[in-house]
Amino acid sequence: MVGSEGCAGLQAAFGLSRSVLRQVVQIAGEGFRIRSGVLQNAISSAPQFQMAISRYAILQGMQVAQTAACNRLHEGRQRLARWRLLAHDRADSNVPPLTHDFLATMLGTDRPSVSVAARILQTEGIIRYTRGVITILHRRKLEDSACECYRVIRNLFGPVLPRFA
pLDDT range class, residue 165, cuts 50, 70, 90: very low
Instruction: Check residue 133 and report its DSSP letter.
Output: E
Residues 64 and 128 in one domain: no
Domain count, the chain: 2
Residues 50 and 62 in one domain: yes
Q: Is residue 83 within 8 Å of 143, Cβ to Cβ?
A: no
Q: Is residue 67 part of a domain?
A: yes
Pair 55, 65 in one domain:
yes
Residue 94 has pLDDT above 70, yes or no: no
DSSP run (H or E) holding 157: helix 148-157
Q: What is the mean pLDDT of residues 134-145?
A: 94
Q: Can you tell me the distance from the alpha carbon of 98 to that of 101, in angstroms, rounded to the nearest whole number?
A: 8
Q: Are residues 69 and 91 in the same domain?
A: no
Residues 85 and 152 in one domain: yes
At residue 142, does pLDDT exceed 90?
yes
pLDDT at 14 over 70: yes
State how far Cα 78 lies from the chain centre: 15
- What pTM did the predictor assign? 0.82
Q: What is the structure's pLDDT at 163?
A: 55
Those residues whose C-beta lies under 8 Å from the C-beta of residue 148, and which sit 6 or more positions away, are: none
For residue 18, the Cα-to-chain-centroid distance in whole angstroms is 22
For residues 18 and 42, the model is more confident at 42
Q: Which domain CATH number covers 127?
A: 1.10.10.10
3-state secondary structure 53-120: HHHHHHHHHHHHHHHHHHHHHCCHHHHHHHHHHHHHHHCCCCCCECCHHHHHHHHCCCHHHHHHHHHH
Residues 48, 101 within the same domain: no
Q: Could you tell me which of 55, 41, 39 has the C-alpha nearest to residue 6?
A: 55
129: helix, strand or coil = strand
Which structural domain range is residue 42 located in?
A: 7-21+33-73
Q: In this structure, are 51 and 114 located in the same domain?
A: no
Q: Letter for the amino acid at 139?
A: R
Q: Average of pLDDT values for 61-84?
A: 92
The answer as to whether 49 is a domain residue is yes
User: Do both 82 and 151 map to the same domain?
Assistant: yes
pLDDT tens digits for 101-137? 888 988 889 999 999 999 999 999 999 988 778 889 9
